Amino acid sequence: MKEEQNNDSGTIKIRKDALWKYSTFVLLAVLVIGGVAFILPNNPSPTGNVVKDNSGRGATYNIEVTEDDNFLQGSMNSDVFVVEYSDFECPFCQRAYLGAVSQIKAEYSDKVAIVYKQFPLTSIHPDAQKAAEASECAADQGMFVEMHNILFEQGVAGGVDTFKEYAVQLGLNTEKFNECLDSGEKVANVKEDMSEAQAKGGRGTPYFLIASGNTGEGTVVSGAQPFEVFNQIIQSKL
Dump pLDDT digits (tens) for 183-192: 999 999 999 9
* pLDDT on residue 57: 58
CATH node for 60-237:
3.40.30.10
* pLDDT on residue 161: 98
b/e map 100-125, b = 16+ CB within 10 Å: bbeebeeebeebbbbbbbbbbbeeeb
Give 57 or 139, the one with higher predicted confidence. Answer: 139
Give 82 or 14, the one with higher predicted confidence. Answer: 82
65: three-class secondary structure by DSSP: coil
User: Per-domain residue ranges for the chain?
Assistant: 3-42, 60-237
pLDDT at residue 26 tops 50 = no
The average pLDDT across 145-153 equals 98
Distances (CA, A) of 148 to 48, 57, 183: 19, 27, 20
Distances (CA, A) of 200 to 28, 59, 127, 194, 197: 35, 10, 24, 10, 5
What is the pTM (predicted TM-score) of this model?
Answer: 0.78
Which residues 6+ apart lie within 8 Å of 132 measured at CB? Answer: 87, 88, 118, 120, 186, 190
Residue 45 pLDDT class (50, 70, 90 cuts)? very low
- Round the average pLDDT of the chain to a whole number and report it: 83
* pLDDT on residue 58: 64
Q: How many CA atoms lie within 13 A of 210 on its CB side?
A: 22
The average pLDDT across 14-21 equals 40
pLDDT at residue 64 tops 70 = yes
The average pLDDT across 46-57 equals 46
Least confident window among 34-48, 53-67, 80-94, 147-161: 34-48
The average pLDDT across 207-226 equals 96
* pLDDT on residue 147: 98
Q: What is the CB neighbour count within 10 angstroms for residue 64?
A: 16
pLDDT at residue 202 tops 50 = yes
